[in-house]
Chain A
């Protein structure tokens, strides 16, 4: 391709990206404005919380445990250099509650729940089920997208809290039980250093924002994909990529906003 063609195609993909962003924003607005109607059918929302939350429980708990174990190990080796092993509890808890809990859970959520959301909606679109809903005077945004959105929004903070809790237990397992750091110092330094409002509540807010981002991206990719097997496959990949990048980008913005004044 000639250089000028390359630049032209680059410009075209940028414009295409901006157009997609606009379509995504419109879909988000549509779902959010219909939320009151969606919340009047709690059984639909409850099924989605089950589908997105309960089915992700196992991977979140196990990952949390392993991350906590590794944090405990790595943290101990580094802190031992400065004679501050007793701060291990503080290190593990702060890392998890502030950053790793929300972020890693969101990445796992994007991979597990996000892709299944995208695939399900993409296949519904391919099988004309969404058009059938419209033809039956049922709004697919209210009936299909809305409950899934609320389900993701509810499930994410809970999953992040479970991840962080399992991680702290993992750190305790490695630090206190296996290595022998003083249990009293472990827990007391942790509870003195972790602030409820600044650390835990901020962590919950972060996970809620990530839940919004990942769920809405997954729904958008499924809703706007081409109704063919290749289209659905590309959409699921796009969910993981865009969802992960959005989570990491938002993480930076939120961290800067929340933890700056220290």
Chain B
């Protein structure tokens, strides 16, 4: 960037940056003004595809033959009981662990490439928000958000500063730029981590339990933020959660995972309305929060007479 960037007004600067980021994609797919006559070449409609994926730790199966398509631009929620394997799914999606069977495709490219270069190239297009933020504790909030930009984009300090402050502004925490992660609350730390996850304008954003442990105000704020970011960035979002109310308000589709002895299975996939009318017993118990249903209250044990005589 040889010319004077600061002379351009702020909104145009942001647009310029977004365009520069996507320079490898056809222009027609970025600007929404393309007419049908000049429609872009057919791109893979799926942002993500799971095909018969199986995964386990040693002899313990976690995920059992999962097949799932995630469309570009949608907000998919993955729900299920605690410990069913939702976080493992996110790790499979970002390539942090590898499945034992089946294949995973992201943006049409298989994830199990042995080449670190291509894996990292895919990862730069994904933003991953960890459950507790996973901010770098020795860096300030500003430096945390600036980290991916410093590592992967060759920017001058002035542009970098503007971008970081814009990202923090998008999550409402521009005022916390110079604070350390230990000086902000847990919910705020998670929002800073969200700003870091979208620093490179990812096409796919993965959220690991973003609503866990938040007060009602933060819950609403975070839910609306996730939806707004998804639409503004034109990205695909996958939210792993077990918070029914907030998620149903923002999700396009919901997938429900039920535990079984051979790992988690997909028992329902559809829009929130479809799920509310589902007849699957696990889904009904999950959505209603019932004590009785496929998931029992009592853990299996010897008959009660044996313990109290």
- Contact, chains A and B (beta carbon distance below 8 A): yes
Residue interface mask A107-149, B partner, CB < 8 A = 1? 0000000000000000000011101101111110001000000
- Is B273 at the interface (CB under 8 A from chain A)? no
Q: Are A136 and B151 in contact (CB under 8 A)?
A: yes
Are B123 and A137 in contact, with the CB atoms below 8 A? Answer: yes
* Extra contacts besides A131-B134, A136-B151, A137-B151 (8): CB < 8 Å: A127-B132, A132-B134, A135-B94, A135-B123, A136-B148, A137-B123, A138-B148, A143-B151
Q: Are B123 and A132 in contact, with the CB atoms below 8 A? A: no
Q: Is the CB of B136 within 8 A of A129?
A: yes
B151 and A132 within 8 A (CB): no
Q: Is the CB of A131 within 8 A of B130?
A: yes
CB closest residue in chain A, given B130: A128
Q: List 24 A-B contacts (CB under 8 A).
A: A127-B132, A127-B134, A127-B137, A128-B134, A129-B137, A131-B96, A131-B134, A132-B128, A132-B130, A132-B134, A135-B94, A136-B123, A136-B124, A136-B147, A136-B148, A136-B151, A137-B119, A137-B120, A137-B152, A138-B148, A138-B151, A139-B116, A139-B120, A143-B151
B126 at the interface (CB under 8 A from A): yes
Q: Which residues of A contact B152 (CB under 8 A)?
A: 137
* Contact in complex: B132, A134 (CB < 8 Å): no
Chain A proximity mask over B129-171: 1 for CB below 8 Å, otherwise 0: 0111011110000000001100110000000000000000000
CB < 8 Å: which of B124, B132, B147, B148 contacts A128? B132
Q: Residue-by-residue, is A205-233 near B (CB-CB < 8 Å gives 1, otherwise 0)?
A: 00000000000000000000000000000
Q: Do the beta carbons of A134 and B96 come within 8 Å of each other?
A: yes
Once the chains are docked, how many angstroms separate the CA of A131 from the CA of B151?
16
Closest chain A residue to B128 by CB distance? A135
Interface residues on A, range: 10 to 19
A contact residues around B135 at 8 Å (CB): 129
What is the total of A-B residue contacts with beta carbons within 8 Å? Answer: 43
- In the assembled complex, which residues on chain B have CB atoms less than 8 Å from the CB atom of A132? 128, 130, 134, 136
Chain B interface extent, by class: 20 to 34
CB <8 Å contact, B136 and A137? no
Closest chain B residue, CB of each to CB of A136: B148
A-contacting residues of B (Cβ < 8 Å)?
94, 96, 116, 119-121, 123-124, 126, 128, 130-132, 134-137, 147-148, 151-152
Please give, as numbers and ranges, the residues of chain B lying within 8 Å of A136 by CB-CB distance: 123-124, 128, 147-148, 151
Bound complex: CA A130 to CA B240 (Å): 21
* Distance in Å: Cβ of B268 to nearest Cβ of chain A: 28
Residues of B within 8 Å of A139, CB to CB, are 116, 120
Residue of chain A at shortest CB distance from B181: A127
The 3 A-B pairs with the shortest beta carbon distances in the complex, nearest first, are: A137-B120, A137-B123, A128-B134
> Which of A127, A135, A143 is within 8 Å of B126, CB to CB?
A135
A127 to B139, CA, bound (A): 14
Considering only CB atoms, which chain A residue lies closest to B147 in the complex?
A136
Q: A135-B96, A137-B120, A139-B116 are in contact. Are A129 and B134 (CB under 8 A)?
A: yes
Distance of A132 Cα from B151 Cα, bound (Å): 13
| Min distance, Cβ A126 to any Cβ of chain B, angstroms | 10
Contacts of A127 in B (CB 8 A): 132, 134, 137
List of A residues within 8 angstroms of B151 by Cβ: 136-138, 143
Whole-angstrom distance between the alpha carbons of A189 and B95 in the complex?
Answer: 65
Closest partner residue, chain A, to B123 (CB atom): A137
- Which of A127, A135, A139 has the largest count of B CB atoms less than 10 A from its CB? A135
From residue B94, how far is it (CB to closest CB) to chain A in Å? Answer: 5
Instruction: Determine the distance from Cα of A138 to Cα of B199 in the docked complex, in whole angstroms.
Output: 14
A246 to chain B, nearest CB (A): 28
Please give, as numbers and ranges, the residues of chain B lying within 8 Å of A131 by CB-CB distance: 96, 130, 134
Most interface-central of A131, A136, A143 (chain B CB within 10 A): A136
Task: List A63-84 residues whose CB lies under 8 Å from chain B.
Answer: none
CA distance A139 to B119 in the complex (A): 11
Complex alpha-carbon distance, A158 and B172, angstroms: 48
Complex CA distance for A139 and B152, rounded to whole angstroms: 12
In the docked arrangement, what's the CA distance between A132 and B127, Å?
Answer: 10
How distant is the Cα of A127 from the Cα of B135 in the complex, in angstroms?
A: 8
